[in-house]
Chains A and B, each alone.
Chain A
Amino acid sequence: MLPPSSEREPRRKRIDFGMVILIFIAVAGGLGVWLLRGPERFFAILGEDALLILKIGPKILAAMLLAAWMRLLMSEQAVARWFGRGAGWAGFARAYAGGAILPGGPMTAYPIAAAFGRAGADIGATAVFLASWMLLSLNRTIVWEMAFIDYDTVLQRLLITLPVPILIGLVAQATGRPSFADMAEGERR
């Protein structure tokens, strides 16, 4: 069993740079709309925002619970062994599926990617896993991308990016990079 993410490195700050920018955009934007478009428009936008938050909120809650239970139920090694097993196309296919369906943000994906090396996955499959998680993560797509961007655009984006993880994996396999020796540098930290 893994320790909960709150006890694991690296620790995330409550207020980080991204948060400061979010605060700035919200405050400056609100001020701008109030002054330029008037209070009526300001409150109308806030009303639309409230509806959107009500729509996304439950999904975020479900995604967080899903990722938290998964971290407690499965070890990184077990996940890496399963999704990193098999050579060639079979290995690629597993890594590809793993990257797309594993819930949770970077605190789930990177420890698993690091465990791929220890579990004996090949370099190409590991690259496929990371690229698939970055580009195709269902969790992030449902919770965040579909909340803000219209569904047709999201679907088109997914369709176009489908082959990209495989291409990156093929390049990694052909060149032997990025290698697990490079990865070990990270584990020694």
Chain B
Amino acid sequence: MTLLIFTIILFGAAGALGIAAARRGEAVLWGGVKDAWGQLAFTAPRLVLGVIGAGFLAELLPAEVVRALLGRDAGLLGVVIAAGLGAVAPGGPALVFAVAGAAAAAGAGEGQVMAFTTAWMLFSFNKALVWEQPFLGGRYTRDRMIFAAPAPFLVGAAALWLFD
């Protein structure tokens, strides 16, 4: 239900902007389509590989090891490990969410999964080096990261505490 609502919003917003683009002229309408096509050429292979890799990974990940290190019972230590892994995880959303989903399927706890994804959202090297540092400067990036540093641990700990 939640996903359905979000999906309708997504398609509705895309349709509305498409109409707005068409009113602005054919160049804008087709310029957007061409631009999106270029983005898709970048994303589609990553999506397909991410899904396939995650499927295989979930099957192969040793459940006992995942549960011991990242399971619910691994508690705060598990959150710390997960946040550390998330902070150094390379690549974009296809890779990170695919791996997180595979880990969850193999027995990782919710709080640990959240710590992993949150750490990636805030600290992804990819994002920091390719985008944040060039656009906002090295010092800005550093200060922003220092302020954000506690967040993945707090989110993971809160999840353990709230949803256990």
Contact = CB atoms under 8 A, between A and B. Distances in A.
B137 A184 contact: yes
Contact of B6 (A37, A105, A138): A138
Contacts of A40: none
Classify the secondary structure of A's interface with B. Answer: helix
Nearest to A64: B36
Most chain A CB neighbours (cut-off 10 Å) among B6, B35, B101, B155: B35
Interface string A95-135: 00000000101110111011000000000000100110011
Most chain B CB within a 10 A radius of its CB, from A45, A160, A172: A160
Contacts of B137: 182-187
Interface in B2-46: 2-3, 6-7, 9-11, 13-14, 17-18, 20-21, 24, 28-29, 31-36, 38-46
Given A26-B53, A45-B56, A61-B36, A18 B10 contact: no
B155 A157 contact: yes
27 contacts: A5-B38, A17-B91, A22-B46, A26-B53, A29-B60, A33-B60, A41-B59, A45-B56, A46-B55, A53-B48, A56-B47, A62-B11, A69-B14, A69-B18, A111-B135, A143-B93, A145-B93, A147-B97, A148-B54, A151-B3, A156-B114, A157-B159, A161-B155, A178-B140, A184-B137, A186-B136, A187-B137
Interface of B: 2-3, 6-7, 9-11, 13-14, 17-18, 20-21, 24, 28-29, 31-36, 38-57, 59-60, 90-95, 97-101, 104, 110, 113-114, 117-118, 121-122, 126-127, 130-144, 147-148, 151, 154-155, 158-159, 162-163
